[in-house]
A and B are shown apart, each in its own frame.
Chain A
Amino acid sequence: MAQASRTSTAEPLALPEGIQGIVADWSSDQRAFKNVPWGKAMMWIFLLSDTFIFSCFLISYMTVRISTTEPWPNPSEVFGLTLFGKSIPLLLIAIMTFVLISSSGTMAMAVKFGYEKNRKMTFILLLCTAALGATFVGMQAFEWTKLIVHEGIRPWGNPLGAAQFGAAFFMITGFHGTHVSIGVIFLLITATKVIRGDLDHGRPGFMTGRKGKYEIVEIMGLYWHFVDLVWVFIFAVFYLW
């Protein structure tokens, strides 16, 4: 190469932008992810692996749905709700979508207030996020109950059509619901740390010697937004197909 990137750490490194920046960042024994705490980089890499897991589920679902010769149950009707004697298609799922998007909104603002060291607002917004997440899981429990008890849908078959419907539905939404539930638990843990002032005083966390910092709110946020992101895809390909 004509140009060599400087790697001496005696003085601040010039950080080139663009394609050259990629080459420089990845080469010469440097930290690849500058200005990003390693916890955040690791969360991103975890989310990338989780993307592949959810993609495997969704692509498998696509494969069984295309290849089945039985008619696929119409999600618009299966997930409809009857309100005031009138049946509205997909209503429950629409409400769940809005609840999860709202939780993403409050989470994003919690991250902002966290970096501003506004403990009270961060705590309140984290609790709002956890409450909305719990609401989502509650509605999902309602949905599962309705399908299992009233519609007789099982992972190995159902009275509405293709047997693969139950397997795909319980696997995909179950795995997503588990992610939401774990997220709610960690949101409550993060909220507790924030209100106790752990992050202001750099108090080490559970099972780690690392000092508490407000970056953990952002890392928590990345996980939570990812859960919302997965729902966007599930909503589109499972419920709207």
Chain B
Amino acid sequence: MAHAEAQQHPIVAHVEGQQHPIGIYLKIWGLLFVLSTASYLVDYFHFQGYLRWFLIILFMLLKAGLIVAVFMHMLWERLAMVYAILVPTLLLMVLLGIGALEADYTFFTRGVFFLKGLF
């Protein structure tokens, strides 16, 4: 079977499954702790406005990236696999944009409607 042969091929780095030194998991674990503490401190010190948003999104994406890349081994998968999983999630950006536009519009019409009710 092609499968069995592919596993013996030198390009395929892993003989069985994903084997990496334990140190990398411990380091990523530590990093995730640091990043979580940092995002907690954003709330603790009451950062507001764009700074708050920037920091929250930054720490969120860094944590998500570390988990997917190292803990879920995406870093070592073949590109065909990585793209099949990660590219479709980009579509969610469209949904996010539509949601934000629609929500702003709803907020605006509610404002108009409630103001009219006063007169």
Interface positions, chain B 44-97, Cβ under 8 Å from A, are 44, 52, 56-57, 59-60, 63-64, 67-68, 70-73, 77-81, 83-85, 88-89, 92, 95-96
Q: CB < 8 Å: which of A17, A51, A59 contacts B79? A: A17
Interface of chain A, main secondary structure: helix
Please tell me if the beta carbons of A90 and B18 are within 8 angstroms of each other in the complex.
Answer: no
Interface of chain B, main secondary structure: helix
How many A-B residue pairs have C-beta atoms within 8 angstroms? Tell me: 192
Please tell me if the beta carbons of B77 and A104 are within 8 angstroms of each other in the complex.
Answer: no
Contacts of A19 on B, CB cut-off 8 Å?
A: 79
Closest to A239 in B: B43
Interface size class of B (residues with CB under 8 A): 35 or more
Contacts of B39 on A, CB cut-off 8 Å?
A: 235-236, 240
Interface size on A, residues (CB 8 A): 74
Write the A116-154 contact mask toward B (1 if CB under 8 angstroms, else 0): 100000000000000000000000000000000000000
CA distance A115 to B29 in the complex (A): 20
Please tell me if the beta carbons of A240 and B5 are within 8 angstroms of each other in the complex.
Answer: no
User: Could you list 6 further interchain pairs (A-B, Cβ under 8 angstroms) beyond the known A21-B80, A228-B67?
Assistant: A33-B81, A63-B106, A69-B110, A112-B20, A215-B17, A236-B57
Interface residue ranges, A against B (CB under 8 Å):
9, 11-15, 17-19, 21-22, 25-26, 30-36, 41, 44-45, 47-48, 51-52, 55-56, 59-60, 62-69, 76, 89-90, 94, 97-98, 101-102, 104-105, 107-109, 111-112, 114-116, 214-215, 218, 221-222, 225-226, 228-229, 232-233, 235-237, 239-241
